[in-house]
């Protein structure tokens, strides 16, 4: 795909309906969080420090997408990630 077509597709995606843009961002967030959780579960070489860094980076990325939604992150994703870290690394 050439640059012009890529830019046109990007502009079309950005200039769409605000509801569609919000849905797209939510879907990206869900995919990102699923990937983070999968890496924590499946990467046998991952250290607890690296996993903690992944969790912290995922929160920063989520808040960059949704700056005013820290509370939502804390009630939706934080408990899942804490449970996963506890199970994976036998933390208490």
At residue 12, the pLDDT reads: 53
d(CA 31, CA 65): 13
> What are 18-44's pLDDT values in tens digits?
999 999 999 999 999 999 999 999 999
pLDDT of amino acid 76: 96
Give average pLDDT by consecutive 10-residue segment, the chain, 92 residues.
Answer: 56 72 95 97 95 97 96 96 94 70
Q: Specify the pLDDT at position 64.
A: 97
What pLDDT score was predicted for residue 70? 96
Structure tokens at 42: 């499946």
């Amino acid at each position: 795909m050439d640059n012009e077509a890529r830019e046109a597709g990007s502009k079309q995606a950005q200039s769409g309906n605000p509801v569609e843009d919000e849905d797209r961002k939510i879907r990206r967030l869900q995919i990102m969080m699923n990937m983070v959780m999968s890496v924590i579960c499946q990467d046998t070489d991952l250290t607890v420090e690296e996993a903690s860094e992944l969790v912290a980076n995922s929160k920063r990325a989520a808040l960059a997408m949704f700056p005013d939604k820290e509370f939502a992150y804390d009630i939706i994703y934080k408990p899942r990630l804490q449970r996963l870290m506890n199970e994976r690394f036998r933390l208490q």
